[in-house]
Structure 1
């Protein structure tokens, strides 16, 4: 996975522009392009591939779903919270130290070279962006994500859903992983548009948008109400016939994927190669220009509803004009 630094007048680094649609949406269909993309993102070293492996470790070995969870108990519920706290501290804290602490990578593959920390700013809790972000992530984000996991574990143990195994439906078992990221993209677009409604934006979503230039701790730095909206995609598992490993994957895709997607870098770069793909430029554009890219690259709702920013200067002018018209009403 070698890569080149691509600078522009706006960005320290940007992927190849304009941003392209995911291969799922090519017309006419290009099945080989879809398979190649799935292989690169699920079976090579990327954040989602690592989340997938970790989910199998949790669901089948470290903390499998067991009948004893039919009774709510502080014993196992506390372990869920503790496990998620450790995972966030290791992943998010590790990325922050790598990128912004010991600064191993410098500005290589960094989208926006402006600092995310520095002088005190009264906009942030405790006066600093990183401290503010850590507080909202660890105090609210991990607790609310863990609450959803605990509730779904309880539902599984009480037979609310009927999990399917690989032997029962091997094709469905494999395809549901990428399908979940598509469904999450739809959910994210809908709740994200909702919290950009001015009253909700002002009282809720503005907490997240304090971060114009983002870092790993920015990913889950939200008002607790937004955390409830964000993790509500997990409620699908109260009715979806799916093995618990899918719930763990979606949980990690959101709980750990938001921080990697907000890291401010395209990849972890070491020894002249991009070692772990983490992406995030699509959403970096949202933090810079606000009224665009509400969803995810997985599902083209932004294109269909006219809120898509492909990273080009031409589209920046279009989005800025759209913002002016919105605020003039």
Structure 2
């Protein structure tokens, strides 16, 4: 079922990157493709700002998909059918309503209008998001602080009110929604 849902929604998921690529090519964003006046400090600063903006945006989009009953019922509940560790798999990360997937990816596109970012960096981070989405649904918790690993995200799927973050636990920590996986849960899983 997860594979079917993920593949059914995939054509819609590619709309957002396609439209964002069009906007980049038209020069409507702050995304740039040359390194004519390259400055390492500014480049690294903009990457950090871009990632913080995306983390912040994805946290709030994900949280609102839970908090607003209409959005949860008609969009995000599809993804939360997989709410136990034995029902989660990497495909569960993509088993979303197509509009849900587009909403959660929208901070990447919005960030391009605010923060100057190199085209390859933007595309790489969007590609890594896909890999990350699969990884946080595989139930293999790497437990590397402050990374939002599968252990944190599995708790999200079972409590529905914790761990909305993306790559890190920072936003959940800042906004009081962080729930840390217990060490004894990890030792039970290993048995």
Q: Please tell me the TM-score bracket, short chain as reference.
A: 0.7 to 0.9
Task: Decide which of 208, 222, 225 is 2:96's aligned counterpart.
Answer: 222
Q: Give the secondary-structure state (helix, strand or coil) at the position aligned to 2:164.
A: coil
Q: How does 1:1-329 map to 2 (within 5 A)?
A: 132-140=1-9, 142-162=10-30, 163=32, 165=35, 167-196=37-66, 197-212=68-83, 213=85, 214-235=88-109, 236-266=111-141, 279-296=149-166, 298=168, 300-312=170-182
**Residues 258 and 251 from structure 1, CA distance in 2 versus in 1: closer, same or farther, beyond 3 angstroms?**
same
Kept in 1: contact 2:50–2:115 (CA 8 A): no
CA distance in 2, matches of 1:171, 1:257: 27
CA distance in 2, matches of 1:237, 1:159: 11
List per-residue Cα deviations over 1:220-275 (Å, max 9, x = no partner): 111112112111122222453221112212211322210112111135xxxxxxxx
**Shift of residue 292 of structure 1?**
1.0
Kept in 2: contact 1:148–1:234 (CA 8 A): no
**Shift of residue 147 of structure 1?**
1.5
**Shift of residue 182 of structure 1?**
2.7
**Residues 167 and 136 from structure 1, CA distance in 2 versus in 1: closer, same or farther, beyond 3 angstroms?**
farther
CA distance in 2, matches of 1:285, 1:166: 46
**Shift of residue 202 of structure 1?**
1.6
Unaligned runs of 5+ in 2: 184-191
**Shift of residue 293 of structure 1?**
1.1
Kept in 2: contact 1:216–1:263 (CA 8 A): yes
CA distance in 2, matches of 1:231, 1:297: 13
Q: How many residues align?
A: 172
1 or 2, which has the higher helix percentage? 2
CA distance in 1, matches of 2:24, 2:43: 18
CA distance in 2, matches of 1:258, 1:311: 18
Task: Please report the TM-score for the alignment, with normalisation by the length of structure 1.
Answer: 0.47
**Shift of residue 210 of structure 1?**
0.7
Q: Decide which structure has the larger Cα Rg and report it.
A: 1
**Residues 207 and 299 from structure 1, CA distance in 2 versus in 1: closer, same or farther, beyond 3 angstroms?**
same
